[in-house]
Structure 1
Amino acid sequence: MCGITGIFDTRGGSAISQAVLQRMNDSQLHRGPDEGSLHIEPGVGLGHRRLSIIDIATGQQPLFNEDGSVVVVFNGEIYNYQQLIPELQALGHVFHTKSDTEVIVHAWESWGADCVKRFRGMFAFALWDRNQQTFFMARDRLGVKPMHYALLDDGTLLFGSELKSILAHGGLCRDMDPLAVEEYFALGYVAEPRTIFKQSKKLPPGHTLAIKRGQPLGEPVAYWDVQFSLDNPISEGDAQAELVQRLQESVRLRMISEVPLGAFLSGGVDSSAVVAVMAGLSQEPVNTCSIGFDDPAFNESAFAQQVADRYHTNHRLEVVKSDDFDLIDTLARLYDEPYADSSAIPTYRVCQLARKHVTVALSGDGGDESFGGYRRYRLHLMEERMRAALPLGVRRPLFGALGRLYPKADWAPRMFRAKTTFEGLSRSSVEAYFHSVSILRGPMREALFSQSFKTELAGYNALEVFRRHAAQAGTDDPLALIQYLDLKTYLVGDINTKVDRASMAHSLEVREPLMDHELVEWLATLPSSQKIRGQEGKYIFKKSMESYLPQDVLYRPKMGFAVPLARWFRGPLKQRVRDAVLGDRLLATGWFNPVYLQHLVEAHQSGARDYSAPLWTLLMFDAFLRQVVDGRVTEPAAVAV
């Protein structure tokens, strides 16, 4: 696992400043504290920070082909590299290392841009082919590893694992994109391909970008997508057996390491299944790490302990205080743009704990999306059955009116909170799902933003992100459609972003067996009835794990990795919220309605409403403005180990 960055003159061979490239590379020291190297030639500068995992002795980067005409910097792991080496050797390539990085340069020479289709893993890389005068960037299929880039007005292309390396160049215009701000307040993150800054972008997952020197910068090209065919005729029993086999293969590939390896163990189904499979593949006890909370409402460490005891793992548990809110500014610096998932706090802490004992940790991320584990999926399917009973032309005016008239009742039992249901029934499937996952829903954003900001938006709504992906989904199955949407949005923009930044802040590599693209593709062929059956999510996964995990781990209610925001904002963070949300920094943007900001704070702190999620979103936006925009932090990030 590493950090990569660089500069490419798309128009010619201008001199690259070593000092500037060094500054960009050093800004990502935390991603690779073991080694750091640069390669500079006319019009090209590549930087690499290394966290040594595989081929520690000879896997240094930037790495070259035999004659030095192709050079690559790479972040991630190619898990099938050992199978590709003999194939490439048979084509005449000579290997000088035993690293997966060298596979990339030779695969590029033999297969060109299609080389990425041969790679199984998590990766972001950039290479320069001097003979073809081509600069090439690629990102893995599910967006596990990040890639940011920006084209400056003078034709200079900048790229980096993190946005901070591009900011460190000094030439990026920091004008914020109002459309990205709209996406952030709807979703809690800025969705690919946007970043918070107008001039920079994220390379979307499953895409490549080739730039021929002297030619205009084109658009990224997709090389992969998941197809929810749902047409696999396999029996339920055979599907369970095949799922176990595929999971074993995925985990086995991710256990290749020359450094200490372990796993996160939350006590949920996904991480517990990964640990169970690891234990079956390992001759030594598996290293496992859990975070517990001193508030029982948020603590599931007892379930993690059950799994640890069953498999005799070397288990480490660290209990953190539920008032662990001193990371707000740290998180703003880590993420480089507004990011509002409060579970970033415990994720940061579990990575901090894991790094004390291992350099590589396997996680259970991606299971909810592929197996159908989110509670919101079951609620959406229930609403879909109701939507199917009446045409949209009837539902929209009828339930739209009921939704406007029915009072919001956060305090009431869920069955009486009909306002959200009415609002959902008045919408199309995609609109309803977007509405259900939004942090600040449409009417709230309408009230939050000033008239001048809404003029800047020119009618843009973050719903367009979902509509764009839905148009590519190739399915109208109610579950498959929203799984596809989550694989393209929430998994990438929220989950993968959270884990990448939190882990790399501690120089920890996290690997994700449940996001293996071959496993994801196979699961997409299974009927939706094998994923959600009745009120049981992850049906096929849980059935396949019954002989591996305790019943109360498999079938207990999903808890999630949450923190007590509502209590914080009425207690220890009461004044901090008031200072941030009602302070000069947010008002100075001219983007927010001060009357509505006052309402959010007063209604929450009086106990009349639970506005904890919107307030956290505003708090983190204020921290971003203070730490990144105003602070202009470009010095190297501290390495916390």
Structure 2
Amino acid sequence: MCGIAGIFHCGTIKPVDPARVERMCDVLAHRGPDGSGVWTAPGVGLGHRRLSIIDIAGSPQPMESADERAVISFNGEIYNFRELRKELEGLGASFRTDGDTEVILAAYERWGTDCLSRLHGMFAFAIYDRADRSLFLARDRFGVKPLFMARLSDGSMAFASELKGLLAHPLLRRDVDPHAVEDYMAWGYVPDHRSMLRGVEKLPAGHFRLLKHDAEPAAPQQYWDISFAERRKGKLKDLEAELLHHMREAVTSRMVADVPLGAFLSGGVDSSSVVALMAEASRDPVRTCSIGFDVAAVDESSYAAKVAAMFGTDHASRIVSADQFDAIDTIAGMFDEPFADASALPTWRVCQLARESVTVALSGDGADEAMAGYRRQVFHHHEERLRGILPASLRSKVIGPLGRAWPKADWAPRPLRARSTLLSLAGSGASGYASAVGAVPMDQRFALYGDALGSQLDGYVAEHAFIDMMERAPARTGLDRAQYADLKFWLPGDILTKVDRTSMAVSLEAREPLLDHRLVEFAATLPDSVRVKGAQGKYLLKKTMERYLPGDILYRPKQGFVTPIAQWLRGPLQTQTRAIASSSALARTGWFDKAQLTRMAEAHIAGKSDNSRLLWQLLMLDKSLARLGIVA
């Protein structure tokens, strides 16, 4: 895993200052502490920070191809590089190194941009082709690895693995995109189709971009998409066998490394499944790590210990305090853009623990999106069946008004919290699911916006892009559409961003075997009935893993990392909570109604209402603005 950065002049050829590229890379040193390099030629500069994983001594970057035609700066891992290398050698290619970087170069020289369909892995890279004087930027299928881009005032295109790499360039303007503020308030993160800064883009997952010196920048092109349009037929046992085959291949291919390798182990279905298959494939004990909390109600470390004992892993566990509020400034600095998923804190802690003994850690991320493991997906599946039964007039004229009249009762037992379900049933499946995924409802956030921000938005609503994605999905059912949107929108914007930044902050490479594209493509063909069974999501995965894992691991209620934000905002962060409406960087933007913010903060501090989620988002937005020195 590494950090990359570079500068490319479009429409002209100007010299690139290597010191400027070096500065862009220096701020990414946490992504690659083992080495660095800069390469420049007329009109182009590539930079690299290296975390050595494979061919530790023999693959420095930026790397030139053997014939000096192409130069690459690459972040990621190609898991099938040895198979590709054999194929390319059979076609006449020769290699000087033993790593995957040179294989990408040879694949590009042989197949051009079509090489992307042959690469199995996670990656973001830039290849400069001297022959046609072009820059080839590419990002992996799911967006595991990030790539930010910005057109600068001198006509150049700058790119970097993180926004802070672009911020190191003196020509980057720091003007906020108001649409990104609306997106962030809706989702709790800035999704991949948007950036916090005007003029900054993120290369979409599964896309590439070709830039030329003699032309204006071309738009990104999609080379891969996930389709839910087909259906696999077969008996349950046959589907289990096929799923297990894909999972074994995905796990074993990600166990290749020339440095110590281990796994995160939470004790849940996904990480336990990965550890079980690692143990099956390894002669030596698998190194695992987990963290627990000093609050018994949210501590799952006993389940992780049980799985570790079952498979004889070399297990490290640490109990951490739930009070991690002193780390939120550090977290804000990791993400650059505002990021309000509070599970980033414990994710960073488990990455810190893993890095004490390994350089690479496998995770269970991606299974919920690919195999319908989220509770919201299960609810949506059943809601869609109801929508198909209930007449549209009944849903709009009876159920909708009933939902609007139903009291909001977050404190009540779940069966009595019917408001959101009723409102969801009254609308379309896509709008209902957008509400389920979102962080702050549209009416609540628009009520907080000041006149200036409301005017700048000019009718823009964050949910529309998500709804459009669901409605255009290559899919058959509502469950298909929900999973498609989770894979394309939620996964790269929230989950993969969280894991990339927290792991890279400690120079740890995280690998996601359950996001192997062949495994996900198979899962997308499964009938709804083997993805969701009654109240059970990930049904086929759980049935498949019954041969490895006990029922209390497979079938207990899902529980993620929990952070006591509500208590923090009333206690140690009380002063900062009040400052959101008065003296903070956010208050000075004028984006929000200060009187409303004050009432909301005081009501929360007094315990009259729980506004913790919204206040937390505002606090993280404030910290992001303050750290970046962004001008509103």
Tell whether the structures are fold-level matches, with TM greater than 0.5: yes
Q: Distance in 2 between matches of 1:606 and 1:547?
A: 51
Unaligned runs of 5+ in 1: 633-641
Give the equivalent residue in structure 2 for 1:594: 594
Secondary structure, counterpart of 2:403 in structure 1? helix
Paired position in structure 1 for 2:243:
243
CA distance in 1, matches of 2:464, 2:246: 35
Contact 1:70–1:129 (CA under 8 A) maintained in structure 2: yes
Q: Is this contact kept in 2: 1:186–1:438, CA < 8 A?
A: yes
Q: Equivalents in 2 of 1:598, 1:405: separation in Å?
A: 27
Secondary structure at the aligned position of 2:150 is classed as strand
Deviation, 1:432, is 0.5
* 174-183 or 389-398, which deviates more: 389-398
Distance in 2, matches of 1:424 and 1:101, equals: 48
Hey, what does 2:280 align to over in structure 1? 280
In the alignment, the residues of structure 1 paired with residue 584 and residue 287 of structure 2 have an alpha-carbon distance, to the nearest angstrom, of 48
**Separation of aligned partners in 1, 2:394 and 2:501:** 46
Query: Which structure 2 residue ranges, 5 or more long, are not aligned?
Result: none
Secondary structure of the residue aligned to 1:204 is coil
Corresponding residue for residue 611 of structure 1: 611
Provide the secondary structure at the position in 2 that maps to 1:234: coil
Hey, what does 1:301 align to over in structure 2? 301
Q: In the alignment, what sits opposite 1:442?
A: 442
Instruction: Look up the match of 1:107.
Output: 107
Instruction: After superposition, give the CA deviation of every residue in 1:517-542 in whole Å (9 maximum; x if it has no partner).
Output: 01000111111111110011111101
| Matching residue's letter, 1:55 | D
C-alpha distance 389-605 of structure 1, shift in aligned 2 (>3 A): farther
Equivalent position of 1:170 in the other structure = 170
8 Å CA contact retained: 1:78, 1:100: yes
How far 1:447 sits from its partner (Å)? 0.9
Query: Alpha-carbon deviation of 1:15?
Result: 1.2
Query: Quick check: 1:581–1:622 contact (8 Å CA) kept in 2?
Result: no
Stretch moving more, 436-445 or 277-286: 436-445
Instruction: For 2:325 and 2:356, locate their aligned partners in 1 and report how far apart those are by CA, in whole Å.
Output: 22
Higher mean C-alpha displacement, 579-588 vs 88-97:
579-588
User: Is the CA contact 1:179–1:460 (under 8 Å) kept in the aligned structure 2?
Assistant: yes
Q: Report the alpha carbon displacement of residue 605 of structure 1 after superposing the two structures with TM.
A: 2.5
Counterpart in the other structure of 1:475: 475
**Alpha-carbon separation, structure 2, partners of 1:304 and 1:381:** 30
SS in 2 for 1:514: helix
Please say if 1:525 is aligned against 2:538: no
8 A Cα contact 1:160 1:166, kept in partner: yes
**Cα distance in 1, alignment partners of residues 78 and 268 from structure 2:** 28
C-alpha distance 15-49 of structure 1, shift in aligned 2 (>3 A): same
Greater shift after overlay, 461-470 or 449-458?
461-470
* Equivalent position SS for 2:368: helix
The Cα offsets for residues 71-98 of structure 1, whole Å up to 9 and x where unpaired, read as: 0000000100000112112222221111
Answer yes or no: is the 8 Å Cα contact 2:148–2:159 preserved in 1.
Answer: yes
Partner Cα separation in structure 2 for residue 280 and residue 581 of structure 1: 55
2:349 maps to what in 1? 349
Matches within 5 A, 1:527-606: 527-606=527-606
The residue number in structure 2 matching 1:232 is 232
For residues 159 and 450 of structure 2, the distance between their equivalents in structure 1, rounded to whole angstroms, comes to 34
Residue 635 of structure 1 corresponds to which residue in structure 2? Answer: none
Q: State the shift of 1:571 in Å.
A: 2.5
- SS of residue in 1 equivalent to 2:248: helix
Question: 8 Å contact 1:183–1:189 — kept in the other structure?
Answer: yes
Contact 1:289–1:353 (Cα < 8 Å) also in 2: yes
Aligned sequence identity (%): 50
User: 1:425 — aligned with what?
Assistant: 425
CA contact (8 A) 2:13 2:213 kept: no
SS in 2 for 1:422: helix
Residue 582 of structure 1: CA displacement? 4.2
- Return the offset for 1:331: 1.2
C-alpha spacing 1:384/1:479, structure 2 compared with 1 (3 Å): same
* Residue in 2 that maps onto 1:329: 329
Q: Which residue is 2:494 aligned to?
A: 494
1:161 aligns with 2:177: no
Q: Which residue matches 1:637?
A: none
Q: Which amino acid aligns with 1:245?
A: H
Distance 2:126 2:337 in 1: 23
Indicate conservation of the 8 Å contact 1:152/1:172, yes or no: yes
The aligned counterpart of 2:9 is 9
Query: Counterparts of 2:216 and 2:303 in 1: how far apart (Å)?
Result: 55
Partner AA of 1:367 in structure 2: A
- 2:38 aligned with 1:26, yes or no? no
Q: Is the 2:11–2:212 contact (alpha carbons within 8 Å) kept by the matching residues of 1? A: no
SS of equivalent to 1:201: strand
Corresponding residue number in structure 1 for 2:186: 186
Q: How high is the TM-score relative to the length of structure 2?
A: 0.98
C-alpha separation in 2, matches of 1:114 and 1:304: 42
Structure 2 CA distance, aligned partners of 1:379 and 1:472? 21
Q: What's 1:35 paired with?
A: 35
1:217 is the counterpart of 2:217: yes
Give distance in 2, aligned partners of 1:111 and 1:581: 56
Give the C-alpha shift of residue 403 in structure 1. Answer: 2.9
Matches within 5 A, 1:386-465: 386-465=386-465
Does the aligned pair in 2 maintain the 1:265–1:275 contact within 8 Å? yes
Partner of 2:320: 320
Aligned letter for 2:204? P
Tell me the secondary structure at the aligned position of residue 559 of structure 1.
coil
* Contact 2:174-2:631 within 8 A present in 1 as well: no
CA shift, 1:384, in A, is: 2.0
Deviation at 1:575, TM superposition (A): 2.5
Q: Deviations over 1:25-66 (max 9, x none)?
A: 101000000000000111111000000000112111111111
Per-residue deviation, 1:378: 1.7
CA shift for structure 1 position 371: 1.3
**Greater CA drift, 85-94 or 320-329:** 85-94
Cα distance between partner residues in 2 of 1:38 and 1:356: 30
- SS state of the match for residue 615, structure 2? helix
Shift of 1:603: 2.8
Counterpart residue identity of residue 102, structure 1: E
Residue 87, structure 1, aligned to residue 87, structure 2: yes
Q: CA distance change for structure 1 residues 423 and 596 in 2, over 3 Å: closer, same or farther?
A: farther
Question: Is the contact between residue 191 and residue 465 of structure 1 (CA under 8 Å) also seen in structure 2?
Answer: no
Structure 2 letter corresponding to 1:213: H
* Range 256-265 or range 603-612, more displaced: 603-612
Tell whether the 8 Å contact from 1:351 to 1:502 is kept in structure 2 after alignment.
yes
1:511 paired with 2:511, answer: yes
SS in 1 for 2:137: strand
- Give a deviation string over 1:417-454, Cα, whole Å, max 9, x none: 12212221222111111111211111111111112211
Measured in 2, the distance between the counterparts of 1:21 and 1:101 equals 20
- The answer to whether the Cα contact below 8 Å between 2:396 and 2:426 also exists between their aligned partners in 1 is yes
The corresponding residue for 1:638 is none
Shift of 1:370: 0.9
Partner residue in 1 for 2:132: 132
TM-score, structure 1 as length reference: 0.96
Rate the CA distance shift 1:35–1:378 in 2: closer, same or farther, 3 A. same
Q: Which SS does the other structure have where 2:547 is aligned?
A: coil
Rounded to whole Å, the distance in 2 between the matches of 1:558 and 1:230 is 29
CA distance in 2, matches of 1:244, 1:476: 25
Report the 3-state secondary structure (helix = DSSP H, G, I; strand = E; otherwise coil) of the residue aligned with 1:205: coil
Distance in structure 2 (CA, Å) of the matches to 1:386 and 1:486: 22
Deviations 1:588-621 (A, max 9, x none): 1111012321232133223333221111111100
How far off its partner does 1:402 sit? 2.6
Aligned length, in residue pairs: 632
Secondary structure of the 2:158 match is strand
Per the alignment, residue 195 of structure 1 pairs with 195
